[in-house]
Amino acid sequence: MKTFFTGLYRSFPVQLVFLHFRKYQVLLLFWYILTSAIAGGFMKTFGADSLFLSPEYLGNVNWLSAAIVGVAAGVFFMSWNITTFIAFSKYFKFLATTSKPFLKYCINNGIIPFLFLIFYFVCAVRFNVYKELMSTGEVVFLCIGFLGGLITFLLFSFVYFFGANKTIVRQMAPAMNDPSQLLEKQAAPQTWGPGLINVEWYLSTRLKLRKPRNVFHYSKSFLDSIFKRHHFAAVIGILLSFLFLLITGFFLDYKVFQIPAAASIFIFFSILITAAGATTYWLGSWSVPFMVVAIFTFDLLFRYDIIDPRNRAFGLNYEKKMPRPAYNKESILQLASLENMKQDKEKMLTVLNNWKQKQDEEKPVMYVINLSGGGNRSACFAMNVLQHLDSVTHGNLMKKTFLITGASGGMLSAAYFRELYLQNQKGQKNNLQNHSLPDNISKDLLNPLFSSFVGRDLIAPADKFSVGPYRYIKDRAYAFEEQLNDNVGGIFNKQIKDYIKDESEADIPLIIFNSTITRDGRKMMISTQPISFMMRPQPDTVNGIYGEPDAVDFCAFFKDQNPYNLRLITALRINATFPYVLPNVWLPSEPVIDVMDAGLRDNYGQESSLRFLDVFKDWLKENTSAVVQIQIRDRKNGEWQNDFGNPSIFQIFTKPATILQFNWHKLSDYYQEELTAYASNSFPFSFKRIVFAYIPESEEKTAALNFHLTAREKKDIAESMHSKPNQQALQIVSSLEKEFQHIGSEIK
């Protein structure tokens, strides 16, 4: 038994596993991230597991989508093998004297990939049966597709290396025939590098045990020359993979090139692992100084506008010849002057009067809709709620709604529903109760996003497109916008200037798209109407109370940058700029500012709507019977989990740094509730708030917060509308409709 375990320990496969843990541990980090993501640990709340276990391609989850992910997994496996083969070859010189040394290395280096594959298939079967609700046959075809794609790529790779091996043997034939070149000179010392591994057995290409040959009688330079030739062949293989990505990057506008998100992640990790291995191997101890110099160089190029990787707001004028507005306290105060606020308020009163004229009652009820962020989860739930509300209001929801604000996914549904309603106003016949609407707005957005990130942002040279007279680089933000527009049938192919007339005449509700300015936390508010009165709390001139502006009117601030040329879908994307998944949007001010997700400041849009109601409280008192705030949330208030878990010694050091992160949403809820209480008590008109919240069947079945939903998650979200709290909220809306209709008839 002792002999067996000793032999097992000194076998080449086991020694390679230990070698990975002893040298270049950073390369194992990629395996850990992938395994954790598949297990539902890493980025669980963002649904990373679904991307790997149920990949989507061309709108379908089938054997083809799985096969593409299998091919990408093969790319990752080969990149890892090539990188570690180059880095570790000095520790197993005996392979140089065998045929097909790289193939033998891959076979003996297969423990980690093999365990990963077993774990992957176990997780994939469980996930697709219980979350995607697939049949046994469908799951089997997915597994076969993945395995088929993986094997196909590996066979293709090894065919390439077989050809490379024959070329190497042919080139080395003269040396093999001359024994004098194989022997080390007697005076030369035997220096074979560090003895980190002791190999007694290895697996041959036919999976048979073989003892390694003694190579001390071979010339060190001869063995190194063999490995260098294999290294060169491996590098050529990597370059071919990069060339393939470069070519596909030019054709990402075609859906056939928008591979599953998991495949993009595998390829992205392949690039990283190759770069990390190459830097460490070729530069050795100089790798860290090299990275510092490289970062410093890129920073200088960026500072002097030689390179600019930042994302832009598509439609805005970024030409340097145009004067850029100064972003400072003085300019913002000037924009929010009492005179400007008064003028913009008068213009909005005209819009309010237009809205009232279109109502059926003398003193109508006004709806204000607030929607929370939450990716596709929020988008799917919000659309379900809007459809139910439109039903109980007899198709008059948009007619009675004056203002819509919010963040991220919820706003995607609001803009979609409003546009369909507008088309109906202009003669088209869209069924607002169509069951396909929630599915349309929550279709996958991650595949084109990650494909573009790998194929364009990292690899391919900049390709450009036009919005009016301006040109912009196609990046993952562009891919996101195009896919979203395609998901809703192309109806987002508009610019915000196309809504000026419809909103000013109150044919449709007014939408304010918010985002958060990262420089100081102010809100950037995009609206077709001038809204300087929304930039700060209403000044109390009698008591001398003047609040500092905490928001910026986008169109007023960038009046010289053609702000109304901004694409509608860009405004939606800016509102939903999920950190890191989508790039922050930089704006042409002086100094430059950038904006990100509205949820960072006001995840429900409630702060904006309450300020609006406060500004026009006198008009609302005289002209409405009540104002109903409808809040659509992607989770119940007060149900945030405590992510700290059981106390540990590490929390003594980590809690001060993470306390805000884990309690961000709780603090937001506390603030929102307090704000609502103060506002409702001070309003001189009748004010009611009705809340709809996504309530999952169980905590384990909660839909992920990302731009991809599984079949079970969509089903769970739809069924959430039948929960007791949401049904009660619908009944309240229905009863209010009857009550306000009765009041309206009495006034008449």
Q: What is the pLDDT of residues 173-221, one digit of tens each?
A: 444 444 444 444 333 333 334 455 677 777 777 777 777 765 544 445 5
The amino acid present at 708, given as its one-letter code, is H
Among 226-235, 404-413, 526-535, which stretch is predicted with the lowest mean pLDDT?
A: 226-235
Q: Is residue 748 pLDDT above 50, yes or no?
A: no
**Phi-psi region for residue 11, left (φ > 0), alpha (ψ -120 to 50) or beta?**
beta
DSSP-assigned beta bridge partners for residue 596: 516
| Helix axes 101-108 and 12-22, enclosed angle (nearest 10) | 80
Q: What pLDDT was estimated at residue 179?
A: 47
What is the pLDDT averaged over residues 120-140? Answer: 87
Q: Decide: residue 501, CB within 10 A, 0-12 exposed, 13-18 middle, 19+ buried.
A: exposed
Q: Is residue 522 pLDDT above 70, yes or no?
A: yes
Q: What is the pLDDT of residues 544-580, one digit of tens each?
A: 566 789 999 999 999 999 999 999 999 999 998 887 7
Q: What is the pLDDT of residues 302-332, one digit of tens each?
A: 777 677 778 899 999 998 888 899 999 999 9
Q: Assess whether the previous peptide bond of 591 is cis (omega < 30° from 0).
A: yes
Q: What is the pLDDT of residues 463-495, one digit of tens each?
A: 788 998 999 988 889 989 999 999 999 999 999
Q: What percent of the chain has pLDDT over 70?
A: 78
Q: What is the pLDDT of residues 411-456, one digit of tens each?
A: 999 999 999 999 999 989 899 999 999 999 998 887 788 778 777 7
pTM of the model: 0.82
Measured between alpha carbons, how far is residue 317 from residues 43, 99, 351, 555 in Å? 36, 62, 28, 12
What is the pLDDT averaged over residues 719-728? Answer: 91
- From the centroid of its chain, how far is CA 35? 19
End-to-end CA gap in the chain: 98
Q: Are 551 and 522 in contact (CB under 8 A)?
A: yes
3-state SS, one letter per residue, for 17-29: HHHHHHCCCHHHH
Structure tokens that stand for 715 in this block: 């089903």
Q: What pLDDT was estimated at residue 304?
A: 73
Structure tokens that stand for 225 in this block: 């020359």
d(CA 144, CA 66): 8
Q: What is the pLDDT of residues 327-369, one digit of tens each?
A: 999 999 999 999 999 999 999 999 999 999 999 888 899 999 9
Measured between alpha carbons, how far is residue 439 from residues 374, 581, 665 in Å? 16, 22, 27
**Helices (H), ranges, 426-459:** 436-441, 446-452
Query: Residue 238: pLDDT band by 50, 70, 90 thresholds?
Result: low
Q: What is the pLDDT of residues 620-639, one digit of tens each?
A: 999 999 999 999 998 877 66
